Structure 1
């Protein structure tokens, strides 16, 4: 009887911690219920080619419980060797949004590469966040966005 209760308690703890981990992933990363990063675009294509290219399930990897798609086995291998290098800034949320203190979904085709990192931006008909980012002093924006991200990442 004690073993059954103990097993049940352990199972509940496991389920709760797994759910909390997934919930945290959704807070820190711009993913939907599919749990796919970058809406299926290849993280390696952004940095290595300067292109937004949609990856495929055939070349998929899991990093921190999030799926990443790539255009080739070579890209997948590069990511697997050094995932931190290829992760989007601010969990893939709009960089300008993080700068102003908010999280916004992005258009994977709107991005800027700077100093070996890439920043994604929302696509809004009234506000061109990418253009605002480019027209401002980027180091100042990055400094403020990095500061804001410390508190935003868990919200």
Structure 2
């Protein structure tokens, strides 16, 4: 049987280009059911409130082909002027996972604002590890993001 399958496989694949797997992980973390960025949380509120606020569909802004929700029209307008400042680093993927060299989703309730940038985490232990040496973790995550982001599909 193997003697038959191998020549057949060679004929079927002859002259064909290698197939590259399509990424199923997107550049920006979105809710798999709604497609909303960072679980519908208002990214500006991480910087302005004691705890992040849930955004509303009434105050939606689409950035990088992804809908983002905001708790107020003012927050939506601020984000629209400088989304790269308020959006989470690494598209909302787990910051400590990124520092360790792999892509993970994150929980928008697990976060830190470090050097005026929003970092989200997959787990509380990941956040704690990041906070032990945030400068080193952020630098390593940036280095890894430069390569890993190329493997992610656009939303």
TM bin, normalised by shorter chain, reads 0.7 to 0.9
Alignment match, 2:136: 140
Q: How does 1:25-64 map to 2 (within 5 A)?
A: 27-33=26-32, 34-64=34-64
* Contact 1:26-1:32 within 8 A present in 2 as well: no
Cα distance in structure 2, aligned partners of 1:36 and 1:110: 17
> How do 1:63-78 and structure 2 match up within 5 A?
63-78=63-78
> CA–CA distance in 1 between the matches of 2:51 and 2:76?
16
Bigger Rg over Cα = 2
Question: Which structure ranks higher in relative contact order (CA pairs < 8 Å, sequence separation ≥ 6)?
Answer: 2
Q: Supply the distance in 2 between the matched residues of 1:57 and 1:107 (Cα, whole angstroms).
A: 20
The Cα shift of 1:48 comes to 2.3
Instruction: Give a deviation string over 1:40-92, Cα, whole Å, max 9, x none.
Output: 00010012225221111011111121100010111111111221211110110
Question: Where does residue 12 of structure 2 map in the other structure?
Answer: none
- Report SS of the residue matched to 1:28: coil
CA RMSD of superposed structures (Å): 1.9
Please report the TM-score for the alignment, with normalisation by the length of structure 1: 0.76
What stretches of structure 1 of length at least 5 have no aligned partner? 1-22
The total of aligned residue pairs comes to: 129
Unaligned runs of 5+ in 2: 1-21
1-structure distance, mates of 2:123, 2:139: 23
Q: Post-superposition shift, 1:35?
A: 2.4
